[in-house]
Amino acid sequence: MPNDKPRVARPPQEPTMTLELTINGSAKTLQVNPGEVALDTLRRAGYASVKRGCDEGDCGSCSILVDGRLMRACLLYAGQLHGRTVTTVEDLGTARDPHPIQRSFVEAGAVQCGYCTPGMILATHALLTEHPDPSEDQIREGLDGNLCRCTGYVKILDGVRLAGKSLRDGGDQ
């Protein structure tokens, strides 16, 4: 008796490639599809702080540090991370033991809905690593490309200034 069930065509499996990198201090080996963006790879690997925003590199929600440099995960192919060191905000601190930048953002009231916060924190980290005592213009330039839809940025700028002072005064980095 013939099988009357329609055959479901399966899409061809894309070949995978092995990606070896360091994420937040831990060596990782991940299987990725060619053409996959780093944002999808990191989300699938459990890094929830890397958020999908605009998919165009304009909002900063997917910010990561690659070899210490601030980058947008939505604009990077996963394969570009091979052999590199990636830092997400999960590496900086926890709710119980926040990094001085995280603590400063909370103290300044710079955290609203929280969607942009990981990108803002990493942008601040990159800025303060390069400029421990940044000018107003350097702060604005350092945060450029990180959009917050909840605030007028005043409290975020206050948080960056407070974080810089905290780190200069001996807050651990």
Lowest model confidence (mean pLDDT) among 3-7, 77-81, 141-145, 156-160: 3-7
Please name the residues in contact with 71: beta carbons below 8 A apart, sequence gap of 6 or more.
63, 64, 65
- Among candidates 80, 169, 163, which has minimal Cα distance to 120? 163
Structural domains in the chain plus CATH codes:
17-91 (3.10.20.30), 100-168 (1.10.150.120)
**What's the whole-model pTM score?**
0.88
Q: pLDDT tens digits for 102-125?
A: 999 999 999 989 899 999 999 999
In this prediction, residue 9 has a pLDDT band, given cuts at 50, 70 and 90, of low
Is the dihedral angle over the CA atoms 168, 66, 94, 106 positive or is it negative?
Answer: positive
- Cα–Cα distance measured from residue 12 to residue 54, given in angstroms and rounded to the nearest whole number: 29
